[in-house]
Structure 1
Amino acid sequence: MSTIHWTESNTNSNTQRHAARWHFESSTPPPRTVVSADDRIKADTAYRLACEGTGLLWRGDYHNARQLLGSLSRRIERRTTRRPTQKPTLQDGTPAALFHLHRRSRSHRARVLGRLLVLLEDGYRLELRRAPEVRRACAEAYGPWSGPMVVPLTELLGVIGAHQWRTKGVRVPALGARIHPHYGVFSPVRGEYVDLVAQAPLPPPCATAFDLGTGTGVLAAVLARRGVGRVVATDSSVRALACARDNVRRLHLTGCVDIGGSGLFPAGRANLVVCNPPWLPARPTSAVEQGVYDPGGSMVHGFLTGLTAHLEPGGEGWLILSDLAELLGLRARGELLAGIEAAGLRVVDRIDTRPRHRRAADTTDPLHAARAAEVTSLWRLTHT
């Protein structure tokens, strides 16, 4: 646990030294220097200090802090869209180069915006003028109160947004119901992969299914609603397991869905093993990014190499995977097929769908060409 320190003047103009634990869901370390800031600070000054790595502990109006975030964001945007002073290399225009440049740009943006800080005091109380009530949202995200903590305002906004998602839920047409994502758990807003699992033919018989990396539990719920007698779901994230249990309870499926442990595969064998792994082989920088990025494609590899040992005779493994990594040049097109063959598996069928999310139609996205061409597939695999 990291601690940050700062000094402030009290009503008698005496300087007092303060300390609180640092919390940031990303891998960004705490700022070495922290200064107090309020409504009087100029945006240019705040931007310069943030770029230098100085943390700005906000003591002014809450809504003014949000406006300052917008000003910092616009300054970052102007900087990143300036015409480069160096001539591009031969590889600058490749999809992989654009992807890594995009990631670096987003990382820089998150790092600079993450220097605007707020203090959460007794019971996650936010003592700022016109501040919203955040105690319940913070307790849901962070657990029981354990002392004062400093977080970036961007993270607190994410916590507030996650509370709203958790309260209202995300409608899943394949379920005819809502799934309620928790903070730090990837939300099932991309319905195409859920529809694939809802429509693919189940292997006969299908008394038992495993859902690997269950997240919110949405696929486990879909399988149970389709009539699978027993579904066992696993995930490496404690937050995901709690989220999946909550959703299974809300959907009245506790009698047929068992939310298991943190290993990839549960013990035993099943007629069907479903895996919707992170699609991009890159390093995640926050908890929620673990639903998108998987270093080296380790989860895909673990699923393929372990599948035959966990399938009943005649059973199937369903791998739901986008080809975005291939379109971006992050994975060779033949790599997946080679992995399937090496694991002693064969392809029964492949069901494809096209993306329906907003980014696929956003021509301003630097990765638009790849996103527009993306295909998500459900690979039906069985023993050779």
Structure 2
Amino acid sequence: MGVDVTPGVGGQTSRDWLVPASAFAVNGALYGSLLTRFPEIADRVSASETEFGMVLFASAIGGLLGSLVAPLLARAVGEWAATLLAGVGYALLAVGVAWAPRLAVLGGALLLLGLLDGAHDVVMNAFAVRIQQASGSTLMGRMHATWSLSLAGAGGLGTVAAGLRVPVAVHIGVAAATALVLQLAVALRSRGRTPAGAPGPAAASTGPPRQRGIRVRLRHVLPVLGLAALAASYVESPGQEWTGLLLSRGFDAAPQVAAVAPVLFAAGLVVSRLVLDAAVRRSGPATVAVFSGTTMIAAAAVGFVVTLAGGSAWWALAAVTVAGLGAGPVFPLLFGAADHLSIRHGIPAARTASIVSALSRMGAISAPVVVGSLTDALGLGMIFAVMTAGAVLVLLALPRAVR
């Protein structure tokens, strides 16, 4: 079967999904590369659990700021140019994190990295929404599956690098250079073919939005949307950033075994996101949301019991994997709900993406501090306990947010 290149609205073709997909791939690959080396980075700067939580807190603060300023950047240069600029900066700052010799330097590097990551997250989702609206095809599940697959692939390579004792700076430097080459290559190939910053079809056709109607709609939708995004951060943040440390210090696992924990979480994300579009068409978004919440609750609760009982590290890895499987649909569903707001009310795509991203990053800001403090006081089992609490809130809010 050949590739469908029938022009959509605004001259877009269905193959143009590869352009925003490259940004999702770069973001996921850089993040996955760093995740696998976080235990070694923490040990190099002699960070306790609380101190490691604080530098992750700095990264989350940067991410929130980046998500808030991203719509201004997108308005100034267009979604694709903004995506390229933020992605290049993200790659360069990743090298800074890998080289950081002291805790304070690591905190500063992670703050700036978070700033670029937050901006990149918003503008790449906004750009994907723009292509989705122009082509008339569904892309968000595909985009987030690309991100997760890239994270898992890069994490797998990072696990091998950790097992072979490849220096962290060398590993991250190669990953950043590859990301830079990919972004520049895609930018050159797509030059002149992508919508830079022109109004999307919804904004162009609906005229000036009815401000009072928008305020009423957002007042009903945003609290539930915000709770789901906040709660999801309390599952994804520990699942990606703390499970390596849990395996390393809680189960005395070897570096290569500890490094595989965030990779398995990402693998669960990949599997559920690859089948998400078909599942939504078959069962509806609310049913998928219920499945997502219940799966996360079950997996995190099992992980908590295994940790308290001093069970095998392999059971903990299984719980991490299933938790990732349950977490996969959450953010694609939330960004899809934000896309609906953009179309219905003529709101710029970057603004609705910024709303979801900023709310989720508010959860990411507090999660490292909460997890770090609880683990210092009550043990590493609190990582799974926090994930369980977040999953319960997701189950309460997500089905309503997407209904």
TM, length-normalised to structure 2: 0.24
Structure with the bigger RCO (C-alpha within 8 Å, sep 6+) is 2
TM, length-normalised to structure 1: 0.24
- Larger Rg belongs to: 1
